[in-house]
């Protein structure tokens, strides 16, 4: 039930009956030489759309404009200024709520968004709104132990960047988008460890110091069949999340209590 494909009567009915909208969030960044820039958003959007067929809700168009400053050195990345990134997502949530959706689910498909979205979630307590926001990471978080093991059986791992796991998922989510003939790096692509001497000290370039091609693992092992099998697991997990969110009444109560506390 994609926002952009709905007619006004369909849209108004879903806003009234379900009151839940999912925003699939990724970014535009390099995924090696062989995968599309929108990989993260494409996968998250596909999972959300398929889940909405089982547990009705409205799915917002793929949202690409989150945190990707570390990839600005590569072509294809779109990294907006920090304050604009926060303000834009805030305005999008406000507009979704103005259209009748009182529960907004941020479904994150890009690991580099994790800190940004955690901060966004907490910073929204600085203003009073008439809706609640839920944040769901697409990856291992929220999967049962059994589901995690199934993923590993299918692919041998649960997470990489432009490798077998992510390549398989985008092959299934957007068939024809992966151009494996353009992949030229020797496999397996291992971390280079150029900043290992710093230990636990964090820097601006730690990811790129490990993976300068923005690719990990063995991309050539990716298959659409693997991706389709894994997508089913992620879709079922997301359906479970949607059911829990629909049934939730405590978050809105806690939010109201918080607003009252701020007025003292």
Q: What is the pLDDT of residues 81-109, one digit of tens each?
A: 999 999 999 999 999 999 999 999 999 99
**Please, are residues 2 and 49 in contact by the beta-carbon 8 Å criterion?**
yes
Q: Return all residues near 140 (Cβ < 8 A) that are at least 6 apart.
A: 148, 158, 159
Strands 103-108 and 58-59: unpaired
Q: What is the pTM of this model?
A: 0.95
- The answer to whether 173 touches 46, Cβ cutoff 8 Å, is yes
What pLDDT score was predicted for residue 141? 64
pLDDT in tens, 17-34: 999 999 999 999 999 999
Residue with the bigger pLDDT between 11 and 143: it is 11
Quote the radius of gyration of the chain (alpha carbons, Å): 19
Write out pLDDT tens, residues 66-85.
999 999 999 999 999 999 99
Which of these, 243, 245, 222, lies nearest to 43 by C-alpha position? 222
Give per-residue pLDDT as tens, 190-234: 999 999 999 999 998 998 899 999 999 999 999 999 999 999 999
What pLDDT shows up at residue 140? 61
Residue 65, helix vs strand vs coil:
coil
Under 8 Å between Cβ of 166 and 155: no
3-state helix/strand/coil string of 149-186: HHHHHHHCCCCCCCCHHHHHHHHHHCCCCCCHHHCCCC
pLDDT band at 12 (very low <50, low <70, confident <90, very high): very high
pLDDT mean over 116-129: 93
Could you tell me the two tokens for 251?
Answer: 């978050």
In this prediction, what percent of the chain has a pLDDT beyond 90?
89
Cis bond upstream, residue 240 (ω within 30): no
**pLDDT above 70: residue 249:** yes
List phi, psi (to 5°) of 35: -120, 155
Q: In the prediction, which pLDDT does 139 show?
A: 76
- Residue 131: predicted pLDDT: 96
Looking at every residue in the chain, the average pLDDT score rounds to 94
* Average of per-residue pLDDT across 139-166: 88
Task: For residue 264, name the pLDDT band (cuts at 50, 70, 90).
Answer: confident
pLDDT given at position 142: 73
**Domains of the chain with CATH codes:** 3-250 (3.40.50.10310)
- C-alpha separations of 114 from 55, 129, 157, 165 in Å: 25, 23, 20, 19
């Amino acid at each position: 039930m994609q926002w952009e494909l709905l007619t006004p009567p369909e849209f108004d009915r879903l806003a009234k009956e379900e009151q839940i909208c999912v925003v699939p969030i990724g970014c535009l960044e390099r995924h090696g030489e062989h995968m599309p820039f929108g990989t993260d958003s494409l996968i998250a959007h596909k999972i959300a759309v398929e889940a909405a067929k089982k547990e009705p809700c409205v799915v917002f168009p793929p949202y690409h404009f989150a945190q990707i400053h570390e990839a600005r050195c590569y072509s294809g990345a779109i990294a907006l200024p920090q304050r604009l990134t926060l303000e834009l997502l805030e305005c999008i949530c406000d507009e979704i709520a103005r259209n009748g959706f009182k529960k907004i689910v941020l479904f994150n498909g890009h690991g580099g968004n994790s800190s940004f979205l955690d901060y966004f979630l907490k910073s929204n307590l600085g203003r009073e709104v008439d809706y609640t926001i839920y944040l769901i990471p697409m990856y291992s978080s929220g999967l049962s132990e059994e589901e995690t093991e199934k993923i590993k059986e299918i692919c041998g791992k649960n997470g990489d960047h432009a490798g077998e796991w992510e390549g398989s998922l985008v092959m299934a989510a957007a068939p024809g988008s992966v151009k494996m003939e353009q992949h030229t790096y020797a496999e397996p692509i291992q971390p280079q460890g150029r900043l290992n001497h710093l230990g636990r000290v964090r820097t601006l370039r730690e990811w790129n110091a490990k993976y300068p091609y923005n690719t990990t693992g063995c991309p050539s092992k990716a298959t659409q069949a693997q991706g389709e099998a894994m997508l089913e697991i992620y879709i079922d997990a997301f359906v479970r999340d949607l059911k829990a969110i629909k049934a939730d009444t405590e978050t809105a109560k806690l939010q109201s209590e918080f607003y009252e506390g701020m007025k003292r």
